[in-house]
């Protein structure tokens, strides 16, 4: 099995030292930058958006994985491509025309991901799984960092893994929310390909080392 990919979420970074945080991730064993965009509509919080991501993209030496927690993501896909996004993940619950949105994202030259809120059943992926690059399994309710991991997520990861195997999809399974060193090993063993982590990395005394420990979890 390939080593797990680690995607630090900059939501927990020190925004007054954003350049240093980006350089730390560049130096580290992290694989992607995970960037959480919130609109205060789809989720009850507002984070950061296009101008910040465009600045990060100038300094970042690794792919930008953008997680859109916004309504009507199709209105902004081209702008996020311009800002430097390499992959764009939209929420199942925010997309009336998900298949069209995925085609749009891929047509713009980005990888396409679909995120599922904790209550959204895996079966809703059945008719889109072959067309996407990433399934983001939310292990907390989206909107905030630092929340408690929902244990039901393990079962959901197994269901996604089974769907991928049945359909021959090449989508990666990404887990986001409450991911810590204490559950990373079990998540990898269950089938997670990509671990997103915000507070467990940035609130730790040595974030670069914590990234290394995530990277070697499950081995
Ligand atoms: C939550 C975001 C997550 C968040 C994770 O809505 O999608 O990416 O930053 O933060 P932690 O790792 O602190 O739960
Ligand atoms: Zn996220």
Ordered DSSP codes for the chain = -PPPEEEEBGGGS-GGGHHHHHHHHHHSS---EEEEEEBSSSSS-B---HHHHHHHHHH--S-EEEEEE-S-GGGTHHHHHHHT-SEEEEEGGG-TTHHHHHHHHHHTT-EEEEEE-TTS-GGGGTTTGGG-SEEEEESS-TT-SSPPPPTTHHHHHHHHHHHHHHHT--PEEEEESS--HHHHHHHHHHT-SEEEESHHHHTSS-HHHHHHHHHTTT-
Residues with CB under 6 A from ligand 1: 9, 11-12, 34, 36, 67, 140, 142-143, 145-147, 176-179, 196-200
Please indicate if the annotation marks 42 as binding a ligand. no
- Give the pLDDT of residue 2: 81
ipTM, 2 dp: 0.99
Report the alpha-carbon distance of residue 90 to residue 94 in Å, rounded. Answer: 7
- Give the pLDDT of residue 196: 98
Q: What pTM, to 2 d.p., does this model score?
A: 0.98
Q: What angle do helix axes 50-59 and 18-27 make, rounded to 10 degrees? A: 50
CA angle 8, 11, 15 (to 5 degrees): 110
Residue with tokens 């945080």: 21
Please indicate if the annotation marks 131 as binding a ligand. no
pLDDT at 1 over 90: no
The per-residue pLDDT for range 86-124, each reduced to its tens digit, is 999 999 999 999 999 999 999 999 999 999 999 999 999
Ligand 1 midpoint to CA 125 (Å): 22
Residue with tokens 């690794």: 62
Mean pLDDT of the chain: 98
Residue with tokens 């507002």: 46
pLDDT at 219 over 80: no
Q: What is the dihedral of CA 37, 40, 42, 48, to 10 degrees?
A: 0
The per-residue pLDDT for range 160-188, each reduced to its tens digit, is 999 999 999 999 999 999 999 999 999 99
Residues in contact with 157: Cβ distance below 8 Å, sequence separation at least 6, in sequence order: 137, 173, 175, 187, 190, 191, 192
CA distances from 36 to 53, 55, 59, 205 (A): 10, 15, 18, 23
- Give the pLDDT of residue 18: 98
Topology (CATH level 3) of domain 5-215 = TIM Barrel (3.20.20)
| pLDDT level of residue 218 (50, 70, 90 thresholds) | confident
Least Cα distance to 196 among 6, 4, 1, 3 occurs for 6
- Give the pLDDT of residue 166: 98
User: In this prediction, what percent of the chain has a pLDDT beyond 70?
Assistant: 100
- Give the pLDDT of residue 172: 98
Task: Name the residue of 10, 15, 36 whose CB sits within 8 Å of the most ligand 1 atoms, as the mutation to test its pocket.
Answer: 36
């Amino acid at each position: 099995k390939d080593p797990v990919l680690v995607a630090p979420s900059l939501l927990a970074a020190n925004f007054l030292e954003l350049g240093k945080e980006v350089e730390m991730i560049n130096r580290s064993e992290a694989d992607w930058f995970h960037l959480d965009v919130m609109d205060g509509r789809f989720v009850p919080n507002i984070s950061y958006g296009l101008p910040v991501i465009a600045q990060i993209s100038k300094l970042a030496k690794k792919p930008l994985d953008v997680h859109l927690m916004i309504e009507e993501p199709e209105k902004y896909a081209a702008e996020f491509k311009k800002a430097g996004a390499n992959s764009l993940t939209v929420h199942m619950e925010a997309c009336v025309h998900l298949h069209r949105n995925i085609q749009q994202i891929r047509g713009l030259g980005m990888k396409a991901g679909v995120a599922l809120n904790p209550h959204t059943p895996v079966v809703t992926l059945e008719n889109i799984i072959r067309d996407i690059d990433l399934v983001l399994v939310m292990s907390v309710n989206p909107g905030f960092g630092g929340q408690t991991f929902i244990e039901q997520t393990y079962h959901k990861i197994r269901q996604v893994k089974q769907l991928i195997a049945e359909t021959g999809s090449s989508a990666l399974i990404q887990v986001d929310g409450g991911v810590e060193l204490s559950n990373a090993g079990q998540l990898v063993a269950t089938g997670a390909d990509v671990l997103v982590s915000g507070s467990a990395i940035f609130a730790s005394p040595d974030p670069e080392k914590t990234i290394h420990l995530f990277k070697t979890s499950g081995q």
